Amino acid sequence: MKTKFKFKKNERLFILTGAGISAESGLRTFRDNNGLWENYRVEQVATPQAFKRDPGMVWRFYKERYSQLKKAKPNAGHFAIKKLEDFFQKNFFLVTQNVDGLHLAAGNEKVLEMHGSLHKCFCTRCKTRYKFEDIDLSQDIPGCLNCEGQLRPDIVWFGEMPYFLDEINKILSKTDYFLVVGTSGVVYPAAQFLYIAKSYGAHTIGINLEEPDNMQFIDEFHKGKSGDLLPKLVSLWIS
């Protein structure tokens, strides 16, 4: 394995992760089963309109995903990223498109979950926030303990604005290295982060099972599983 990069602690590293790294922990990706769930297109259960039309159906989908998530554990790729945070410390920035919380479970502290978290929900009326573990998931539509409004998963759905975009754009303008792991490069706005970082002069690195759609902006690409490649690469990058 070869790499042309050698990291220094005073440089700044930005990491973007996607579904590929979580798939290695046994979590099905959003597009599994041909993008179908109970004969619905997945997009049909991941929009504000779907929740307004049939909140019980949407909650069934996310309860199923949450049940699957409780069995998942961080893999070697997650722990390698934790090692990078330990190395860079204040110069480390991690943004994930995943909602599973596996980076936090691996020990990462500086994590921006731009698409929300499957561990959290909030009231559509008073905006009180809860952890899934603190609400009654036996209810078809869990209710708010504060105002008796409907709770909804704290997930950024199709048509909604991802979290932390202003903060992310500020970080991208000052990063030295941009590492993208397990993404297809087709989901926006995250897919444009690579281009933005490179336009500001960052060195770019990609790890994925297949070349992403925005491959032309990657300086060094490693094809394969992040759980196999990242531990070896991290040892080379920070040795």
**Helices and strands (H and E) in the chain: how many:** 9, 11
User: pLDDT at position 234, please?
Assistant: 98
- Is residue 144's pLDDT more than 70? yes
Cβ(162)–Cβ(96) below 8 Å: no
Question: In this predicted model, which residue has the larger pLDDT, 191 or 154?
Answer: 154
User: pLDDT at position 45, please?
Assistant: 85
- Is residue 35's pLDDT more than 90? no
Q: What is the pTM of this model?
A: 0.94
- Is residue 33's pLDDT more than 60? no
Q: State mean pLDDT over 129-153.
A: 95
Where do the domains of the chain lie?
13-26+74-115+163-238, 32-71+120-155
In angstroms, the Cα distances linking 187 to 24, 30, 161, 195, 214 are: 20, 12, 13, 13, 11
Provide the CATH number for the domain formed by 32-71+120-155 in this structure.
3.30.1600.10
Q: What is the pLDDT of residues 57-108, one digit of tens each?
A: 999 999 999 999 988 999 999 999 999 999 999 999 999 999 999 999 999 9
Provide the CATH number for the domain formed by 13-26+74-115+163-238 in this structure.
3.40.50.1220
How far is 47 from 89, CA to CA, in rounded Å? 36
Token pair, residue 238, equals 């920070």
How far is 57 from 38, CA to CA, in rounded Å? 10
Q: What is the pLDDT of residues 206-236, one digit of tens each?
A: 999 999 889 999 999 999 999 999 999 999 9
How far is 16 from 197, CA to CA, in rounded Å? 11
Q: What is the pLDDT of residues 162-207, one digit of tens each?
A: 999 999 999 999 999 999 999 988 778 988 999 999 999 999 999 9
Phi, psi (deg, nearest 5) at residue 222: -120, 120
Q: Active-site residue 115, yes or no?
A: yes
CB-based contacts of 1, cutoff 8 Å, min separation 6 = 222, 229, 232, 233, 236
Q: How confident is the model at residue 34 (pLDDT cuts 50, 70, 90)?
A: low
> Given 78, 103, 115, 119, which residue is catalytic?
115
